[in-house]
Structure formats: C-alpha cells, structure tokens
A and B are shown apart, each in its own frame.
Chain A
C-alpha cells in the first residue's frame, strides 16, 4: 500500500461522558483556571512595588511571590524548582503513570475547554460528524465561525493573563487598550493567543503525539507495576472474544457459558477518547491516561448491570494475576530524591540572608607598600539590602589586629530598600603584625537600624608579599 509523504490530521470527534474521573478532571480544571486567571488581580500590600500577589518584575530584576522577593542572584531557586518538578513527575509516573498528562497538563486542560465550547456550539459527536461532512451552508459557516471566535476569546484571555504576571495588571490592561504598552506586552499576548488557539483548537492530540518530549520519554519510567488505564482483556474477551449483546447473549452467565467476554463492543470507550485510540488494543503511547474511557465503560456496565471495571486503572502485573509492587528501589529512589530536593529548596529559601555582601579583592596590584612601610590591600565591596526597608550599618573589620580601614567616604552606610551599594575599601597593616602571607579576617556589618538585628560578617584575606614579612628569628 502506498501513502503520501505527508499526512493530514484525522479529525477526532470525542463524545461527552459523565463519571467519577470526568468530575475530578472538571474540578482540577476549575481550580487551575481559578488560580491562573485570578492571581494577577489579587492585591498584596508591598511597600516599594505594585500591590500584586505574584509579580515578575523583569526590568527591576525582582520577582515578587507572596512575601518572598526573589533577586536575580537567587534565580538558581528556579533551577531547584524545575528539578523538584521533574523528580516529582518521575516519581508519580513510576507509580501511577501519566497522571500529569491526563489531569494537570495545560494542553489537556485547554483542549478540554475548547472541546466543551465546540460541543456547546456544534452539538454532540454525531451532530459534529454530520456537520463536518455536510456541504457548506450559512448555518454551518455560522457554527464554525462562532466556535473559532469563542476559541480566540479564550486564547486571548489566556495570552493576556500571562502578560499580566510581568507587570502591574491594571496598568498593563490600560496600556494595552490605549496602545501605550511596551512592545513585548503586545508580542507576548499575541504569541500566546495564537499558540493557545493553534495548540488547543487545531493541533490538539498532535501536540502530545508529535511535539511533547515528555510523552515520548515517559515510557522509561514505566514498568509492569505502573498504574495504567487498561482494558481487562481476559474478562472482556474470554475464549471467543467480544460481541454485541444479540439474542441469547444478553445475560452475563449465558455469555460466559458460550465463551464470550463482558465487552459488548458498544464502542463508547473509543468514541470518548480525545486521542482517537482504542484502549482495547492495549497500552499505546498516545494514551494520556485521561481515564474518560473508564467513565464510559463504567456507565455502560452500570446500565446493563455488569460489575464495573472492565476498563480501569490497573497494572500489567495486576492484570495477569500477579501482585503489584509499589515499594521498589526505583520508586523509593525517585521519592527520596524528590523529598531531598524539596527539603534543600525549602532550606535554601527559609535560611536566605536579608543582607548580602560580596567581597572581591582587587588583585592588580594585590598589595602595595606605603610610604610608612605598611602594606595596603584593596577590596571591592558590594552590599545588597534585600529587605523592603532602608537599613543602616556601620562597616568595619575584625580579626586583623593593628589594621586600619580606609574608606573613600563614611563607614556609616545607608542602603535603600531592595537595592545595593558598591564601594572600594582599603586595608592597611604593618607587615610586622602578621606572620603569614595570607591572613584571614572578616568584614563586618554592624546594624544601626532595627530591621536587621544580627551583625553579619564575611571572610576576606589580607595579603603580604613573602619578602616583606619579618623573617622568623
């Protein structure tokens, strides 16, 4: 059989279904949308930034997340957060399969919303198939245009909301409408509107099967004990396979006597599948574990008084009658790594210092001899005030007896909220006061204000060339 080099998308018309998992998925959808769309509008009192609960201020290089202010130098937390996310994903996937894909992935969530809109405008599966095959008419054109228009509205709301996180939301909306917003605001909104429209409206399951890297490599986390949405082949097929409930095959015992399985081949599980696959063919890489086929099958089983669970969450081992092992090295390892990285991240965030000093010794020249015979070292100091109040410090040094601190200014420092000061300081010391070339000492910040109570110190090294040291007698 020959085929073209390129393949058009085969349209899928999923049928709606009610059930436990559908309810759970809607609940998660409402929660996720509630958080995503409302966060930029929740006020949060701040002394020197807009009162917005989550604000990513790229220009000012400050990320505000509730009471946490993330500075540019703390950006490794983002790496930590991503590592936690990845490990959590591995851990969950190892035990329960593609939970993220089926319930939480924004591709799944947005596609769900787009399909809901589609159904409200164009009707249920059969109506949509008929409409797609019907010749172009004003009614068809209207329904299609309305669908796409509503999709674009949701897409625009999505793109706009994303943009609002990067500035003060009311200002950005006002600027966008009056045409005074910065170019990136328009570009971001437009780009995300288009990608949302294309991914959730047009490409849909192709995103999961062709684009998503996770969908392709998640298989390596799977094993025979992983929970998957599975069709109970033994129960459904028996010896003679599935068959429609024809005369003489309606009663369950009757079917079993004749060797037929519990699957009545109604096809509901196939019709509801957003990926367009038949779960009865076994585990397939397209399956996102959305569990809608479970709901579909349960509905049918209930209606003909068969026990539920012909399609259910199960593992390969459970299906073949073997025990499912959750506590194994792989899962424990993923779990341990997840807990460890979360602990490290939380530790790093909770123990963050509200004032930071960077000491950089100027190494060219590293040391000079002064007229009176003392040695002089220079240090570039940068002090960062991470609090949202003005702080006052006295700058000094300790641990270097006989040393003199010379500053091109006052040792009293006043640092504005969320900003830093930078200056050069000189340290002078007689070579007679030290025994070694390298002497460790500390620069100290003694707080004068109330905001920070503890004095902070940072290590530094004073260098004296070996030939300037007093020879040991």
Chain B
C-alpha cells in the first residue's frame, strides 16, 4: 500500500534559498522521456536519409532516396530526393492520370463532346484552365475582352465566324484585323457624316440629311466602306470586317457614351485612325487537343453558332 505514497508527496529539488524558497520538482513520466529520445533518433535517421546539412557550397544529399521522373522535354532524370523533383514527378503522374480522359476526347467530335455530360464537364474544366493560361491575358477572364483592343468572346457576334470549324481555324492560324486610316482620305465633315451614318445603322436617331451624305460616302467611292463592310453594313466573316448594324461595338466605346455627339466622336476616331489588330497563331504553341478544347470552350462562351 505504501507503494503509492511517494507519488502523493510534494517533491522539491532539495535546494533552499533565503531559508524557505524551494524549487519544486514535478518529474515527467518515463514514457515521456522515451518519447523525447525517439524524436532525437528520428532526427538522426532523417539526416541520414534526406537532404539535411549545408556543407560549404553544397549539402548532404542523403542516401537511398533516388527519385526518377520524366521532365517536360521527355528526358528521364534521376536525382536525390528533393521537393522540386517530387513536384515534377507528381505532375508527371497526374498528367498520366489526366491522359485517360484526354484520350476519350482525342477522337470525339465537337457535337459528341457537347452531348455527353461527362465529356462536356471535362472539356469545360480543362479548357477553362487553358484559356486562363493562354488567352485571358488579352481576352480577359471569361472572354470579356477590352473595348478598342481585344474582342469580347462572350457575346454572340463573331468577327471571323462562330462555328466550331471557324473558331478552330482562328485559334490555329491567328488573324490580322485591319482597317485603313481615313485621316487623309476624308475631310472632317465627311468623317462626321459617315460616323453618324454608322450610328444610324445600329439604331441611333440621326437627321435625314446627314444620313444621306453618310450613305453616299459609305456606299460610294469617297469612302469605299462597303467593299469590306458590305452595302448592308453586315460585315464579312471571311475578312473579319465588323457587322455595323448590331448593338455590339468592339473598337469604339459607343455603349460607354451617353449623348450622340460623344458617340459620334468615338466612331469618328476609329475611322480616322483605322484599326490594326493581331491575334497570334497558336498551332505551334498548343497541342492539337488543347486547341480543340479551347475551341469548344470559346464556342460555348457566347452560346455558339
């Protein structure tokens, strides 16, 4: 019975200062001590097996810890264990895992992907990342575009055509969007007239007299606008000329202006200075499947054709 007794007593280290100032000693249990020793042993084993100590300009590499992976160039690399290689190895593994889904899309047509719920979901999530990595720098996240610079891909107008085939060609080959500057070709009055005519085409109320003069410039030889934009001002997808009769403005910020005068100025500015835009070709930068997935994504952004 007395076995338990020492456990209850108040223990001190035996030191006493100023007569009665004593140091308590509440001993740790033995298992705790062994637990602490175990962490020390763990550290020693760790130092042996993993990169650990700096030695001059290098460091201890550890033993028995070779890691092998295939890098982006297809070269097989073997090195001592390190987190950078581990990441490369894990990315290689996840690429292989992703491949089984990609393989299903490899030969699938656009309509087939669209109809199949699972393929649709995978294509969407894969292309969303590709779009953010490659396209969003200009076209913005979600394809919002920037008025005056990069077309909005989320609306239902397609400068170069909105079918799957046309979109794929656009991404693959790139495009040059060009409209000559009319700075020298038209007078200030003529620029005013043709700008008002263009605004009238998309629903603005403009006086008949100015409309008439603008139409003559647009459809006649003075401006020659109809060569590209057609007499109906519908534009042509074969050369990327904009449809001027709809509510969409990709260069002149008409929706951002409140009164007719400033809308006219915005349009005039475009006619005076012309347009020169370039989208690069992606056939050498992206793989075939990546281009096709992007096509699928861009197509459904605005509801597709």
Which residues does A use to contact B, with CB under 8 Å? Answer: 1-12, 202-203, 206, 210, 267, 270-271, 276-278, 281, 362-365, 368-373, 376, 378, 406, 408-409, 414, 421-424, 426, 467-468
Q: Mark B140-163, 1 if CB is under 8 A from A, else 0.
A: 111110000000101111000000
Contact: A7 with B28, CB < 8 Å? yes
Docked complex Cα distance between A469 and B7 (Å): 83
Residue B303 interfacial (CB < 8 Å): yes
Q: In whole Å, how far is A174's beta carbon from the nearest beta carbon of chain B?
A: 27
Q: How far is the CB of B209 from chain A (nearest CB, A)?
A: 26
- Are B27 and A3 within 8 A (Cβ)? yes
Whether the Cβ atoms of B247 and A408 lie closer than 8 Å is: no
State which residues 95-124 of B face A: CB under 8 Å: 114-115, 117, 120-121, 124
CA distance A6 to B255 in the complex (A): 80
- A sample of 7 more A-B contacts (CB under 8 A), given A2-B14, A363-B142, A371-B157, is A3-B27, A369-B247, A369-B248, A373-B246, A408-B114, A421-B121, A422-B124
Residues of chain B contacted by A1 (CB below 8 angstroms)? 9, 11-12, 14
Q: Which residue of B lies closest to A4 (CB)?
A: B27
In the docked arrangement, what's the CA distance between A426 and B184, Å?
44
Whether the pair A3, B144 counts as a contact (CB closer than 8 A) is no
Chain A's closest residue to B258 (CB) is A467
Answer whether residue B30 sits at the interface, using C-beta atoms and an 8 A cutoff.
Answer: yes
CB-CB under 8 A from B124, the residues of chain A are: 422-424
Measured between beta carbons, the chain B residues less than 8 angstroms from A414 are 117
Partner of B303, one of A373, A406, A423: A406
Our pick among B3, B28, B115, B246 for the contact of A6 (Cβ within 8 Å) is B28
Give min CB distance, A247 to chain B, whole Å. 23
Q: Mind listing 29 A-B residue pairs with CB under 8 Å?
A: A2-B25, A6-B32, A7-B29, A8-B29, A8-B30, A9-B30, A10-B6, A206-B29, A210-B29, A270-B4, A276-B4, A276-B7, A277-B4, A278-B4, A362-B142, A365-B140, A368-B155, A370-B246, A370-B247, A371-B156, A372-B247, A376-B303, A378-B301, A409-B115, A409-B117, A423-B120, A426-B303, A467-B255, A468-B255
Residues of A contacting B4 in the complex (Cβ-Cβ under 8 angstroms):
10, 12, 270, 276-278
B300 lies within 8 A of A270 (CB): no
Per the CB 8 Å criterion, the residue count for chain B at the interface is: 48
User: Is there an interface contact between A370 and B30, defined as CB atoms closer than 8 Å?
Assistant: no
- In the A-B complex, the 5 residue pairs with the closest CB atoms: A371-B246, A365-B144, A7-B27, A364-B142, A373-B247
Report yes or no: A10 in contact with B3, Cβ–Cβ below 8 A.
yes
Contacts of A426 in B (CB 8 A): 303
Complex formed: what's the CA distance from A398 to B16 in Å?
Answer: 85
Q: Bound state CA distance, A26 and B143, in angstroms?
A: 69
Output the residue of A1, A7, A11 with the most chain B CB within 10 A: A7
A282 → B minimal CB distance (Å): 12
**Minimum Cβ distance to chain B for residue A390 (Å):** 12
Q: Are B154 and A365 in contact (CB under 8 A)?
A: yes
- Closest chain B residue to A420 by CB distance? B121
B residues at A contact (CB < 8 Å): 1, 3-4, 6-9, 11-14, 25, 27-33, 114-115, 117, 120-121, 124, 140-144, 152, 154-157, 203, 243, 246-248, 255-256, 258, 300-304
The answer to whether residues A369 and B255 also contact, given A5-B25, A9-B30 and a CB cut-off of 8 A, is: yes
Contacts of B120 in A (CB 8 A): 408-409, 423
Closest B residue to A7 by CB, please name it.
Answer: B27
Given contacts A270-B1, A376-B303, contact A10 B142 (CB under 8 A): no
The smallest C-beta distance from B135 to any residue of chain A, in angstroms, reads 13
Q: Which residues of B contact A406 (CB under 8 A)?
A: 303
- Selected contact of B121 from candidates A6, A12, A422, A468, CB within 8 Å: A422
A270 to B12, CA, bound (A): 26
Centre residue among B156, B256, B304 by max chain A CB count within 10 A: B156
Residues of the B chain whose Cβ atoms lie less than 8 Å from the Cβ of A210: 29, 32
Pair B142/A365 contact, Cβ less than 8 Å? yes
Instruction: Give chain A residues whose Cβ lies under 8 Å from the Cβ of B247.
Output: 369-373
Instruction: Please give, as numbers and ranges, the residues of chain A lying within 8 Å of B31 by CB-CB distance.
Output: 9, 202-203, 206
A300 to B13, CA, bound (A): 41
Q: Which residues of B contact A408 (CB under 8 A)?
A: 114, 120, 300, 303-304
The complex places the Cα of A85 from the Cα of B300 at a distance, in Å, of 50
Among residues of A, the one whose C-beta sits closest to the C-beta of B15 is: A2
B155 to A370, Cβ gap below 8 A? yes
A469–B221 CA distance with the chains assembled, in angstroms: 39
A11→B30 CA distance, assembly (Å): 12
State whether B1 touches A376 (Cβ < 8 A).
no
Complex Cα distance, B121 from A409, in Å, reads 12
The contact of A7 among B30, B300, B301, B303, by CB within 8 Å, is B30
Residues of B within 8 A of A364 (CB): 140-142, 144
Q: Within 8 Å CB of B32, what residues of A? A: 6, 210
The answer to whether A3 and B25 touch across the interface, beta carbons within 8 angstroms, is: yes
Taking CB atoms, residues of chain B closer than 8 Å to A2 are 13-14, 25
Q: B143 — nearest CB in chain A belongs to which residue?
A: A365
Q: With a CB–CB cut-off of 8 A, which chain A residues contact B155?
A: 368-371, 376
Which one of A3, A202, A281, A370 lies within 8 Å of B156 (CB-CB)? A370
Max chain B CB contacts within 10 Å: which of A6, A362, A424, A468?
A6
A267 x B1 contact (CB < 8 A): yes
A5-B29 contact in complex given A369-B255, A372-B247, C-beta closer than 8 Å: no
Q: Report the minimal beta-carbon distance from B232 to chain A, rounded to whole angstroms.
A: 14
Residues of A within 8 A of B143 (CB): 365
| A270 to B8 CA separation, bound complex (whole angstroms) | 14
Closest to B203 in A: A373
Min distance, Cβ B238 to any Cβ of chain A, angstroms: 18
- Closest CB of chain B to A69's CB: distance in Å? 22
Name which residue of chain B comes closest to A284, CB basis.
Answer: B8
Residues of B within 8 A of A276 (CB): 3-4, 7
Which residues of A have CB within 8 Å of B304? Answer: 408
